[in-house]
Amino acid sequence: MGLLETLLKRLETLEAKLDKMGAGCMSSTVAADEAIATDIAAAVETPVAPKSPSVVAATEKVESQTNLAEVAELDIEGLPWDERINSGKVTDFPHAKTTKGAWKKRKGVSPAKIAEVQAELRASVSGSADVATEPSTPATPAAPSTPAVPATPTVPSTPAVPSTPGVPSTPATPVTPVVTEESMKEKAIKLINELTSKYGITYDVIIAEILTPHGVDTFETLPEASHETVHVELKGWFDYLELIQELVDKLDALDPEGTHGLIDGVNVYCQQFGGSSIGTVPKASVSQLYDTIGDFHKQWDTYIKSL
């Protein structure tokens, strides 16, 4: 039965009821009119189609995804701060880091626990960055070509009778290799790369500290007679920075949460000697910086062990 036939049938039923009630009853007429309007609205009301469950699930999944790498600060190792293994409290901001940019470790946490939590954090960061995509249809592999028929092997010829070997000559005495100036040049260039990559020293600073005193501004124009001298100067500079870094690491281990401000103390000493970090302190002052930080470490090591 169509919509129009349904409406007509309901109207006929209502008219029959009204005839029985009488034309003089106004309230009944009003009630009948309201009933007709309600029935018509109910008959013509168009239902709203429900959303597909798959569409709803997909929408909720997209809205619930949270990109961990965007909402959490990451350290130099690409990990967010975690109160289970890192020092400080959740309400601290910013959280303390080591001089290398990693989160400082909480005291009393075993290395195994640290490794376990770090693995969990790496999985969380990696998982939050993944975007689900429809797998692409693999291309149909090309049909393999028919292999060529192998050629008929030729019959090997009969080998000639070997001649009688001659008496070998006496081998020459090997010459002991001589260290040349070129090898010193290579070692010097390697040290320059170490200073720039590990301690952030610019080439301009290296030229001013090492090459300018020799009257040149490039390594190519440096006389060969000066290669060894320059190598020794670079080696001494690099070795002092390595020793200072070892002391800084020991101070960081004594005060992992930064309670005593030992790393801040190192930065103050660097400023006193003309730099903002151990790599920016002038070459002429690195030995004094090493002695100063060495005394600083001894004092705090003795104090903390006495607690």
Whole-angstrom distance, CA of residue 1 vs CA of residue 4 = 8
If we measure between CA atoms, which residue out of 81, 99, 109 comes closest to residue 262? 99
CB distance 279 to 200 below 8 Å: yes
If we measure between CA atoms, which residue out of 262, 260, 192, 188 comes closest to residue 231? 188
Q: Which amino acid is at 213?
A: P
Per-residue tens of pLDDT for the chain, all 307 residues: 566 677 677 777 777 776 666 555 444 444 445 554 555 445 444 444 444 444 444 444 434 444 444 456 899 888 999 989 998 888 887 888 998 889 999 989 999 999 999 999 999 888 765 544 444 554 555 555 555 555 655 655 665 655 666 666 666 666 665 555 558 888 989 999 999 999 999 989 999 999 999 999 887 888 988 889 999 999 999 999 999 999 999 999 999 998 889 999 999 999 999 999 999 999 999 999 999 999 999 999 999 889 8
CB-neighbour burial class of residue 123 (10 A; exposed 0-12, middle 13-18, buried 19+): exposed
Whole-angstrom distance, CA of residue 174 vs CA of residue 164 = 28
Whole-angstrom distance, CA of residue 34 vs CA of residue 300 = 92
